[in-house]
């Protein structure tokens, strides 16, 4: 399946997140002083304002917390319908990752579904998408 997605602009803060898929790793920024996870990646902890933050490799599994199904074809190359979901990642409290659920019909996705990350490479970016675990 090929879906045209808007690619993020890589910078020092978000590079670990967007390129971790090259090693099959989902990386979430974490404060080393208070252990809060920080997403989207920022150079400053949102909890204690520490600058002692660095990426941590997380499990890459989680649960669909909320989702919507998009039926609108925003441009000709877009395949519809597709699912936009917020995934609560295992072992990453406080973070909901906005992503797409792929690999199954959109109408089969539901809140509470167990999912795991897969990576879709586009140029030097590895988009973390999720598929259901049966
Ligand atoms: Zn902190």
CA of 80 to the centre of ligand 1 (A): 40
Instruction: Give the residue extent of every domain in the chain.
Output: 15-132
Question: Radius of gyration (Cα) for the chain, nearest Å?
Answer: 15
Long-range pairs for 41-49 at CB < 8 Å and ≥24 separation?
41/13, 41/14, 41/16, 41/17, 42/13, 43/12, 43/13
Residue 45 CA to ligand 1 centre (angstroms): 5
Nearest to 65 by CA among 84, 86, 83: 86
Per-residue pLDDT tens digits for 77-120 = 888 999 999 999 999 999 999 999 999 999 999 999 999 999 99
43 CA → ligand 1 middle, Å: 11
Lowest mean pLDDT among 2-6, 17-21, 50-54, 101-105: 2-6
What's the whole-model pTM score? Answer: 0.91
Question: pLDDT at position 1, please?
Answer: 47
3-state secondary structure of 26: strand
């Amino acid at each position: 399946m090929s879906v045209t997605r808007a690619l993020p602009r890589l910078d020092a803060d978000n590079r670990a997140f967007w390129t971790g898929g090259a090693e099959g790793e989902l990386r979430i920024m974490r404060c080393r002083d208070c252990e809060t996870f920080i997403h989207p990646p920022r150079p400053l902890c949102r909890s204690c304002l520490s600058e002692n933050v660095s990426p941590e490799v997380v499990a890459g599994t989680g649960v669909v917390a909320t989702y919507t199904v998009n039926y609108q074809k925003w441009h000709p190359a877009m395949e519809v319908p597709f699912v936009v979901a917020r995934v609560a990642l295992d072992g990453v409290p406080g973070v909901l990752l906005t992503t797409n659920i792929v690999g199954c019909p959109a109408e089969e996705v539901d809140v509470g579904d167990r999912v795991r990350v897969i990576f879709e490479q586009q140029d030097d970016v590895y988009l973390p998408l999720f598929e259901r675990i049966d």
